[in-house]
């Protein structure tokens, strides 16, 4: 109890220095938490992938389409429950800055396979009745202020021309991590238009999404799909939805690695600042530690004082940083719009922040603690700081 | 009268641990700052210098990238007949009708595949890019299933070395050469014969047309004519502009992320410098009083402490730059979001980055040292002499 009081008094002796150190740790822990959240957001797509969905695409690369007829051939395979398809549209909404994923899909079969996208039945009906209708995610609708009945113009990059869609439905996510920043419209609208403008590109799809009845069958079905189309004009590559999503993450892995390294660098920087504070504090108090020793306190007590003070300062700053992380992350997510579909601070991030603070506090106290424990009473009393 | 500089330097040496820790914190910040600038510079060098200003890229209107573009043979013929196109030594137009597609190739030493650009070029394709040199083997023969690989592709991808076979589009392709494009974007591409590739990929259209102007100033008249021609649905861009636009998103992302991080980190390091300088002032209260009593003005005291803080920043900046310069040995490869293809680029250090980084370090030192130095300069002589 005495020790706790002494530690607190010691920590508050140099208010300016302690305040500055706490501020530094606050900034560092906040930055660390945000960077970790960015990394997690990077993997969010793969995290929410279903284990019973397969993605079949052209084996050359995603740029090459597959004939729509493949859908029926896959449907006949054993273990397949549902098949649907999607085309990446890649249109530009007003300007290039407003990026969000757009897919041309077969509305009814697609949303059957993705039960995590919830559409009210009457909106679904409106969508089925309007060929130019589209469905947008809740987050996307909020970002651009879209509501039912609005017209969304898109400038095609892959499919030339100016396209117009009418918002007929807004979908919600079943869970918090469900991506609600996507835009879906009817594939038949795309296909009918292509038949008139670029007939050779009609009746093709970008990827086929295959629902497998049983999770154990996934590997077998994937192999069988690829075998079915081997040596055809469009050979396929089938992988689980998770592997497909992770493939995208892997392509930008260098950036993820860089952010990860930088997130640890910020901890190192603050460790240097914290260690400096503790080194100065201990150097100034050397005579006091010597006095304590002269009064009969062992080296262990002195070490506890220094570690306690260091940890108290580190935890104080870290606590404030952790408190500030969710609101700042929320503000950041609102600012960047739909770039990261999911941007929530996870429990692991909080744990990592707390762990980082403890490590910083402990390491900063290491050298001063060692010196104070070793100092001879006479030398310590003679020390003038 | 000024206090000698050696006084400042010796003060830093007297508290080695503190000096080292403070400068170390600053060094890390400068390291991050310099690395980001080097990355941006490397990306700029790679993509912007890929294009040359007297070349023009013709793609389908608003397609953005070559992969998404499509120009059919009739339209290509119209483009080919424009009078602004330079003639080669053989009196043929300096123009290459190209097909650009992406294929998925496995990376060496990792099981993650990446998208690689395959570019089918016409007869003048290589002549239009003077920076491209064959460093191993030879150029492919037109009309054959031969390809040449860019040097970063040959290094990093399975089966892309000289003499290897790559299988795609239901055909085996032999790598007969490796080319070096002087660290431009072409290093991350594989080149083959346009007609062979189009046939194999069953694409009836070209992706883009690259042409050289016979006079750089005639770009505007060419652009106006091409884009106003009712038979065409194309747009023309200078090659340098075209490639700069390809890197915009990635360069902006790196820039914003780096700037935000540098600012946040510099707060931490500045606080570190401030703590050190406050302690330095507090420990030397009696000393400051003595100096003032000897006749030094408060301005000299201010200068001394500011100089100490700036020196601290300079040391930190120099250490940070020293380690950042080793990053030049690294090559980073990532997917360019706009072209959707793998792109390799390296960290590039130039004098401007050195100057910026040192200025940043000095700035941190200045901000960190200003308040403590003011405090020292304002001290009352009598009070400070009485200090323990």
- pLDDT, residue B106, reads 84
In a domain, A108, yes or no: yes
The reply to whether residue A253 touches residue B334, judged by beta carbons under 8 angstroms, is yes
Element (H, E) at B133: strand B133-137
pLDDT > 90? residue A203 = yes
ipTM, interface predicted TM-score of the complex? 0.77
Regarding whether A151 and A24 lie in a shared domain, the answer is no
- pLDDT, residue B388, reads 63
Chain B residues with beta carbon closer than 8 angstroms to that of A92? 62
Establish if B276 touches chain A: CB-CB under 8 angstroms: yes
pLDDT > 90? residue B358 = yes
Question: Domain containing A328: what range?
Answer: 2-44+253-382
Regarding whether A183 and A91 lie in a shared domain, the answer is yes
Span A128-139, pLDDT tens digits:
999 999 999 998
Regarding whether A307 and A335 lie in a shared domain, the answer is yes
- Alpha carbons A364 and A277: distance in angstroms, whole number: 8
- Of A132-146, A261-275, A332-346, which gets the smallest average pLDDT? A332-346
Regarding whether A340 and A257 lie in a shared domain, the answer is yes
Mean pLDDT of A287-298: 88
Can you tell me whether residue B141 is helix, strand or coil?
A: coil
Regarding whether A39 and A65 lie in a shared domain, the answer is no
Regarding whether A324 and A286 lie in a shared domain, the answer is yes
The closest CB to that of B268, out of A61, A252, A269, belongs to A269
Chain B residues with beta carbon closer than 8 angstroms to that of A237? 104
- For chain A, the straight-line distance linking the first and the last C-alpha, in angstroms and rounded, comes to 29
In a domain, A88, yes or no: yes
Q: How many A-B residue pairs are in contact by the CB < 8 A criterion?
A: 146
Shortest Cα–Cα distance, A316 to chain B (Å): 16
The reply to whether residue A262 touches residue B32, judged by beta carbons under 8 angstroms, is yes
Shortest Cα–Cα distance, B263 to chain A (Å): 11
Span A361-378, pLDDT tens digits:
999 999 999 988 888 888
pLDDT level of residue B282 (50, 70, 90 thresholds): confident
Regarding whether A192 and A163 lie in a shared domain, the answer is yes
pLDDT level of residue A384 (50, 70, 90 thresholds): low
Instruction: Please give the residue of chain B at the shortest CA–CA distance from A275.
Output: B21
The closest CB to that of A254, out of B31, B275, B332, belongs to B332
Establish if B63 touches chain A: CB-CB under 8 angstroms: yes
- pTM to 2 decimal places: 0.81
Regarding whether A277 and A134 lie in a shared domain, the answer is no
Instruction: Please give the residue of chain A at the shortest CA–CA distance from B107.
Output: A251
Regarding whether A71 and A39 lie in a shared domain, the answer is no
Can you tell me whether residue B269 is helix, strand or coil?
A: helix
The reply to whether residue B335 touches residue A280, judged by beta carbons under 8 angstroms, is no
- Contact between residue B44 and residue B236 where contact means Cβ atoms under 8 Å apart: no
% of chain A at pLDDT higher than 70: 98
The reply to whether residue B28 touches residue A265, judged by beta carbons under 8 angstroms, is yes
Mean pLDDT of A179-199: 92
Regarding whether A123 and A67 lie in a shared domain, the answer is yes
- pLDDT, residue A337, reads 66
Domain limits of chain B?
Answer: 5-48+248-386, 62-232
* CB proximity list for A298: less than 8 A, separation 6 or greater: none
Q: Extract the tokens encoding A113.
A: 């396979």
In a domain, A247, yes or no: no
Instruction: Please give the residue of chain A at the shortest CA–CA distance from B30.
Output: A269
In a domain, A190, yes or no: yes
Chain A residues with beta carbon closer than 8 angstroms to that of B265? 31, 265-266, 269
- pLDDT, residue A383, reads 65
The reply to whether residue B272 touches residue A276, judged by beta carbons under 8 angstroms, is yes
Establish if B233 touches chain A: CB-CB under 8 angstroms: yes
- Strands annotated E in chain A: 53-58, 66-67, 80-88, 102-105, 117-118, 133-137, 151-155, 162-173, 183-186, 204-205, 207-212, 236-240
Helices B5-14 and B298-325: angle between axes, nearest 10 degrees = 60
- Contact between residue B22 and residue B310 where contact means Cβ atoms under 8 Å apart: no
Shortest Cα–Cα distance, A76 to chain B (Å): 26
Establish if B18 touches chain A: CB-CB under 8 angstroms: yes
**Residues forming beta bridges with residue A104, ordered by sequence position:** A87, A185
Of A206, A234, A262, the position where a domain reaches its end is A234
- pLDDT, residue B193, reads 95
Regarding whether A188 and A278 lie in a shared domain, the answer is no
- pLDDT, residue A1, reads 66
CB atoms inside a 10 Å sphere around CB B45: 18
The closest CB to that of A270, out of B62, B63, B268, belongs to B268
Regarding whether A117 and A28 lie in a shared domain, the answer is no
- pLDDT, residue B360, reads 93
């Amino acid at each position: 109890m005495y020790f706790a009081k002494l530690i607190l008094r010691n920590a508050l002796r140099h208010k300016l220095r302690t305040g500055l150190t706490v501020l530094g740790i606050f900034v560092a822990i906040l930055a660390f938490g945000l960077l970790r959240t960015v990394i997690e957001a990077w993997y969010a797509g793969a995290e929410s992938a279903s284990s019973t969905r397969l993605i079949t695409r052209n084996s050359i690369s995603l740029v090459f389409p597959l004939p729509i007829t493949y859908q029926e051939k896959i449907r006949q395979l054993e273990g397949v429950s549902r098949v649907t398809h999607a085309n990446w549209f890649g249109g530009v909404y007003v300007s290039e800055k407003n990026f969000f994923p757009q897919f041309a899909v077969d509305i009814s079969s697609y949303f059957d396979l993705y039960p995590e996208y919830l559409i009210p039945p009457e909106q679904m009906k409106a969508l089925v009745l309007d060929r130019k209708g589209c469905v947008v995610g809740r987050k996307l609708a909020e970002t651009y202020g879209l509501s039912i009945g609005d017209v969304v113009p898109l400038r095609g990059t892959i499919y030339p021309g100016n396209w117009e869609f009418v918002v007929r439905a807004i979908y919600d996510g079943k869970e918090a991590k469900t991506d609600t920043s996507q835009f879906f419209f009817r594939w038949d609208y795309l296909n009918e238009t292509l038949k008139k403008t670029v007939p050779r590109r009609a009746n093709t799809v970008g990827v086929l999404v295959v629902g497998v009845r049983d999770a154990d069958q996934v590997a077998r079905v994937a192999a069988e799909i690829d075998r079915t189309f081997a040596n055809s004009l469009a050979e396929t590559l089938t992988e689980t939805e998770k592997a497909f999503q992770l493939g995208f993450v892997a392509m930008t892995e260098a950036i993820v690695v860089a952010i990860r390294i930088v997130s640890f660098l910020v901890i190192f920087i603050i460790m240097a600042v914290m260690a400096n504070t503790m080194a100065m504090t201990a150097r100034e108090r050397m005579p006091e530690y010597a006095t304590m020793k002269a009064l009969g306190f062992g080296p262990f007590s002195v070490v506890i004082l220094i570690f306690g003070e260091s940890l108290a300062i580190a935890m104080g700053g870290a606590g404030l940083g952790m408190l500030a992380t969710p609101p700042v992350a929320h503000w950041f997510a609102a600012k960047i719009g739909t770039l990261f579909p999911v941007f929530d601070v996870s429990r692991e991030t909080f744990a990592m922040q707390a762990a980082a603070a403890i490590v910083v506090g402990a390491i900063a106290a290491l050298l001063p603690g060692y010196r104070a424990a070793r100092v001879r009473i006479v030398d310590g009393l003679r020390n003038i700081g | 009268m000024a206090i000698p500089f050696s006084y400042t330097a010796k003060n830093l040496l007297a508290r080695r641990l503190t000096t080292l820790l403070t400068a170390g914190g600053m060094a890390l910040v400068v390291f991050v700052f310099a690395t980001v600038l080097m990355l941006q510079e490397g990306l700029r060098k790679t993509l912007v210098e890929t294009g040359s200003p007297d070349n023009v890229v013709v793609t389908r209107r608003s397609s953005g990238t070559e992969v998404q573009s499509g120009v059919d043979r009739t339209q290509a013929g119209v483009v080919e007949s424009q009078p602004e196109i330079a003639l080669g030594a053989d009196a043929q137009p300096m123009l290459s009708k190209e097909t650009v597609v992406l294929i998925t190739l496995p990376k060496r030493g990792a099981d993650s595949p990446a998208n690689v650009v395959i570019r089918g070029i016409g007869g003048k394709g290589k002549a239009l890019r003077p920076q491209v040199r064959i460093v191993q083997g030879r150029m492919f023969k037109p009309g054959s299933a031969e390809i040449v690989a860019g040097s970063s592709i040959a290094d990093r991808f399975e089966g892309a070395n000289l003499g290897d076979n790559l299988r795609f589009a239901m055909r085996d392709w032999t790598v007969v050469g490796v080319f070096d494009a002087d660290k431009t974007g072409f290093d991350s591409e594989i080149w083959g014969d346009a007609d062979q590739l189009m046939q194999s990929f069953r694409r009836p259209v070209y992706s883009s047309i690259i042409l050289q102007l016979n006079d750089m100033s005639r770009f505007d008249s060419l652009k106006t004519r091409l884009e106003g021609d009712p038979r065409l649905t194309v747009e023309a861009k200078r090659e340098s502009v075209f490639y700069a636009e390809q890197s915009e998103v990635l360069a902006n992302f790196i820039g914003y992320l780096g700037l935000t991080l540098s600012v946040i980190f510099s707060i931490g390091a500045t606080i570190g410098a401030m703590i050190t300088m406050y302690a330095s002032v507090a420990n030397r209260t009696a000393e400051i009083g003595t100096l003032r009593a000897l006749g030094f003005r408060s301005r000299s005291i201010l200068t001394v402490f500011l100089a100490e803080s700036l020196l601290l920043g300079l040391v930190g900046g120099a250490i940070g730059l020293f380690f950042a310069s080793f990053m030049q040995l690294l090559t980073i490869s990532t997917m360019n979001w706009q072209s959707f293809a793998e792109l390799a680029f390296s960290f590039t250090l130039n004098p401007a980055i050195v100057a910026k980084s040192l200025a940043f370090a000095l700035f941190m030192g200045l901000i960190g040292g200003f308040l403590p130095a003011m405090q020292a300069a304002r001290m009352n002589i009598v009070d400070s002499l009485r200090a323990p």
